[in-house]
Structure 1
Amino acid sequence: MKVHHVGYAVSDMEKSVLEFEALGYTKSGILIHDVSRKVSIQMLKNGPWEIELIAPLSAESPINNILNKNNNTPYHFCYCTASIEKTIHVLRSKKYVLIEPASPAMAFNGHLAAFLYHPNIGLIELLECN
């Protein structure tokens, strides 16, 4: 599978965007407020590299668990797949645990996204890409 982006948990979206822009990244899209997932998302690009900044929208946001343990940090790789359900099935047979089932992701034009965990590599995201 091809890497789509790296997910990066941040506590302050505006300050983090400014720092990444100073490193040569540019915004690739608008700031998304995904109320259902309780996060705001900003995609940034630097050459072939794309990162997804994810900040909490509320105290109940699941991203706070990561921020409380690690402060601002990269925390997942996202991989493109042609068939998310098929890939989930294959990965679950290899001892990956489904953390969040496939559902439409606002930040990716409604394409299906899912999160899985494996103790040897941590959290990954799957994104159904065309």
Structure 2
Amino acid sequence: MKIHHLGFIVKDMKKDRIIFEALGFVEIGEVVYDFIQDNNIMFLESQDGSLLIELIEAVSERSSVRNFKSGYHHICFESGTKMDMNQWFKALKIGKIFTRQITAPALQNRKVVFACLNNGSLIEFIL
């Protein structure tokens, strides 16, 4: 599987964008409102194009990340296949998928699922 991006929770999209830009990241695209998870999403890319990061800002109390602290949140993989992720996770015994497939407006409406690894790490999979 290929790493697609690293996700970070931010409290203030504008302020945190400035921090990541100082570290050499460049905003790509527009801020997207994810109406399913009630978050604002922004992607930034490293200058050499080797790393994509996602800034996630809660919009309201309905937000999927409203109770998370700022900072690293998840790593996202592109599965590159139409495999059954639930069966794959069960076979590997490395964690559990805890969401149904949801549409990700910031990822061109592709389907994603989230999983929790046995060590507590959150993982997102683009299907």
TM-score with structure 1 setting the length: 0.87
Distance, in Å, in 1 between the alignment partners of 2:29 and 2:82 is: 24
Partner secondary structure for residue 100 of structure 1: coil
Using the TM superposition, name which of 92-101 and 47-56 deviates more: 92-101
Identical positions, percent: 28
Distance, in Å, in 2 between the alignment partners of 1:6 and 1:111 is: 17
One-letter code aligned to 1:55: E
Return closer, same or farther for 1:84/1:16 CA change in 2, 3 Å cut-off: farther
- Tell me the equivalent position of 2:9: 9
Equivalences for 1:21-100 in 2 at 5 Å? 21-46=21-46, 47=48, 48-67=50-69, 72-95=70-93, 96-100=95-99
Structure 1 unmatched ranges of 5 or more: none
After superposing on structure 2, the runs of 4+ consecutive aligned residues of structure 1 that deviate more than 4 Å are none
Q: Is the 8 A contact 1:102 1:114 kept in 2?
A: yes
Distance, in Å, in 1 between the alignment partners of 2:58 and 2:81 is: 29
Distance, in Å, in 1 between the alignment partners of 2:89 and 2:23 is: 35
Q: What is the aligned-residue RMSD (CA, Å)?
A: 1.5
Aligned residues: 124
Return closer, same or farther for 1:77/1:122 CA change in 2, 3 Å cut-off: same
1:27-46 Cα deviation digits (max 9, x unpaired): 11110011221100000000
Distance, in Å, in 2 between the alignment partners of 1:7 and 1:33 is: 15
Q: State the Cα distance separating 1:87 from its structure 2 match.
A: 3.1
1:65-117 Cα deviation digits (max 9, x unpaired): 212xxxx2111100011235523320133332222122221011011111001
Distance, in Å, in 2 between the alignment partners of 1:122 and 1:107 is: 22
TM-score with structure 2 setting the length: 0.89
Q: Is the 8 A contact 1:56 1:64 kept in 2?
A: yes
Distance, in Å, in 2 between the alignment partners of 1:54 and 1:92 is: 29
Structure 2 unmatched ranges of 5 or more: none
